[in-house]
Chains A and B, each alone.
Chain A
Amino acid sequence: MKTGTIDLPKNNEKSTFNIGLVLTNMSKKIWDGLKPKSSSKVIFTNLFYVSLSILLFFMFWYFGAKALYNIEANALIEAARKEGGDAAALKTSQCIYSGDLACKPNALPSPADVWNAGKSLYKDHQVLAASKAKFYTDNSALNAQLKATGQKTMVYTGRSSFIDKALKSLFTVFAGVLLAMFIAIPIGILVGLNANIKSMFNWIIQIFKPVSPVVWFLLVYMIVKTMSKSINMDKSFMISLISVSLCSMWATLVNTSVGVASVDKDYINVANVLQLGFFKRIFKIIIPSAMPMIFTGLRVTVSVAWMVLIAIELLAQSPGLGSFVWEEFQNGANDSNSKIIFAMFVIGIIGFMLDKIMLAIQHSLSFTK
């Protein structure tokens, strides 16, 4: 038996916080959370029904779109007949069924249309990316010169592609959630700790939580418009960023305060017996204990943020997916509708993935077995 000072096995020597180890453990846990947990047979049955429902979904879409298309086509032909008689009607109908884009009826796009729109958006992205790359190679010498003399370098200001816009939206939502965290978590902790602070904040939470994203946007617009007079900033980005965080932070705020207020009495007793100081108590006991609740709130925040972002970008004219959808709708080109539906799928899939990631993080942080 060992007594007094004990020689440690080498790998046990670090009781201190090892960020590398923590990150590896966490990523492993997140991966465990994302991995399917059921047996292969259950997965197979599950997969079968999911595929079946996807098939049914596309069939419904295909035939529905076809029916709507026929209504639009007939309306076009009838309109031509009224104006120019049977000859014009025949000409229109031939034009429509030849597949000529010029006289394509403007209806709900079919799955194939949406797929083609997606492909054309990708092609467009490649073209734009190439032109961007060319711009920078062409101007590399000039830029180096400008940089050396301490001047502003030249920046590509061309149109942004669909992928650029999706990335911009993701970046905005990430920054918005980060801002929401920095506002909501500290306030939530204070509200959860102290009943007086709670009564100070409670009315604000109750009144502003149900306010619509559009109204938040208008409020932020009023403030940022004035502030941008004295501070140089990307106005539309700032507006959408702040509006997104103001809309989405409430879930985190409420959950954090509940999590902090409901820390296990035993842990508080331990903290009292050890007479931990205020900050040690908060960072060693209260925050870790409230962490699962905080992340439940953050998960809601992320999904709300992504949902309202599209509407807010639309209003703020920030170059993201929201403004893409709105511009395509205003544009009214023959493949605009297809692009809108394609964007809808992209928005949905990104939202789904964000939620999955948050769920996995949430699971990795829960400390029950």
Chain B
Amino acid sequence: MSEASVMTQPKAAANQFESINNVMLDIVDLKKVYPTPTGSYTVLENLQLQIQKEEFVTIIGHSGCGKTTLLSMIAGLNQISGGAIVLNGKPIIGPGPDRGVIFQSPSLMPWLSALENVMLGVDQVFSHASKKDRLAIAHYYLDKVGLYGDMQKKARELSQGMQQRVGIARAFALKPKVLLLDEPFGMLDSLTRGELQDVLLEVWNKEKITAIMITHDVDEAIFLADRVIMMTSGPSAQIGKIENILFERPRERKFIIEHDDYYHYRKSLIDFLEH
């Protein structure tokens, strides 16, 4: 890159800087306090976490420990009480499509078709692209999650599992910097959950979007993640323990379940949670 182009493109310079330090998301001294009638309640305090580019992180912890609060603060949907969340060098101020969110309930507009639900975001993010290109993006991701034939169906006509597939397509189609998943498969039966984990991993393996996922499911946490973040119980929850999952990608469920390390990881997680 010539010097002139660096001068005229400060963004490019920033990218150069980031490539040296490979952090996508930097959470520093994060604090969240909720006011209650009986005084303030500190959910999270002094929380530090760095997430690398192209990393898949799962967060596991007991109910009410502040996992969802943490995720919604990263999404910008919840105010920060103290500290900072820095995304790709810039502190987060509010919500934005650079952080794709897959909610616990599929949160599709029931009056729109699957395609229209995806297009709602695509039209917004790629407003400069032609209609044809935007449709192509939506079609591509709907195809990837296995809904190519059903995309004209209204969201209300789809099963929970299929709706969450649309949710995955919608999030990936925005090409976000970070993907935030808030127990996306929590409401599904275990068979559908397994299917959707495979779908998610398949798309993710292609895109390698930095992902943070909350889950209650120990097996899900291990199967999907590069790192499992275990949070202590609230109030003033923090990160208790981090387990690096070293299985190679792409992962095969059968291979992982039969692997010796799997039981080692599983024991580590369960010991922490039951502690």
Contact = CB atoms under 8 A, between A and B. Distances in A.
B139 interface: yes
Interface of B: 75-77, 94-97, 99-101, 103, 105, 107, 109-113, 115-116, 119-121, 124-125, 135-136, 139-140, 143, 148, 151-152, 154, 156-157, 174
A4 B156 contact: no
Given A15-B116, A266-B103, 11 more contacts: A4-B140, A6-B143, A15-B152, A273-B95, A273-B99, A274-B174, A275-B95, A288-B109, A367-B110, A367-B156, A368-B110
B140 A273 contact: no
A267 B108 CA distance: 7
B146 to A, nearest CB: 10
Interface centre among B75, B101, B107, B113 (most CB of A within 10 A): B107
Nearest to A272: B95
Nearest to B105: A266
A3 interface: yes
B257 to A, nearest CB: 26
Contact of A15 (B97, B119, B121, B140): B119
B110 to A, nearest CB: 4
A280 B139 CA distance: 22
B111 A267 contact: no
Contacts of B100: 273
A93 B152 CA distance: 77
B140 A368 contact: no
A288 B111 CA distance: 7
Given A6-B148, A275-B124, A267 B140 contact: no
B156 A369 contact: yes
A5 B105 contact: no
A6 B140 contact: yes
B152 A274 contact: no
A273 B109 contact: no
Nearest to A264: B107
13 contacts: A6-B139, A6-B148, A266-B103, A267-B109, A272-B77, A273-B75, A273-B96, A273-B99, A273-B100, A276-B120, A289-B109, A367-B156, A369-B157
A270 B116 CA distance: 14
A5 B136 contact: yes
B174 to A, nearest CB: 8
Top 7 nearest A-B pairs (CB, nearest first) are A266-B107, A367-B110, A272-B95, A288-B111, A5-B136, A274-B124, A367-B111
Interface in A247-277: 264, 266-267, 269-270, 272-276
